[in-house]
């Protein structure tokens, strides 16, 4: 059985320090509203997915220290209002 790997470029709504990971790979396809944990240990909510010519891009909300906090922050900031 072949495992599919999904690769994404990352864009952050708030990347003030500029040291966040630039790419993300996963065996589970993410959707808008999902929360992902990056190698940095931060959790981010996926607020949009851009299908670009060369790659796909995840637009991520502000960083959080837990899955629940990431989703709550994205909801409170209105990033998930289009869902």
- Residue 81 placed within a domain: no
| Tally of structural domains, the chain | 1
Residue percentage of the chain with pLDDT more than 70: 94
pLDDT value at 75 more than 70: yes
Q: Coil, helix or strand for 51?
A: strand
DSSP code of 65? S
- Residue 58 placed within a domain: yes
- Residue 6 placed within a domain: no
- Residue 53 placed within a domain: yes
Whole-prediction pTM:
0.89
Judged on CB neighbours under 10 Å (0-12, 13-18, 19+), 2 is exposed
Dump strand ranges (E) for 1-83.
Answer: 6-12, 23-26, 35-37, 43-51, 56-60
Distance of CA 6 to the CA centre of its chain: 13
- Residue 39 placed within a domain: yes
- Residue 3 placed within a domain: no
- Residue 15 placed within a domain: yes
What domain range includes position 15? 11-76
DSSP code of 71? H
- Residue 21 placed within a domain: yes
pLDDT value at 8 more than 60: yes
């Amino acid at each position: 059985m072949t495992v599919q790997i999904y690769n994404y470029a990352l864009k952050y709504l708030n990347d003030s320090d500029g040291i966040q990971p630039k790419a993300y790979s996963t065996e589970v396809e993410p959707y808008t509203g999902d929360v992902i944990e990056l190698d940095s240990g931060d959790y981010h909510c996926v607020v949009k997915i851009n299908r670009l010519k060369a790659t796909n891009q995840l637009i991520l909300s502000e960083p959080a220290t837990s899955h629940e906090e990431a989703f709550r922050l994205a909801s409170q900031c209105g990033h998930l209002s289009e869902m």
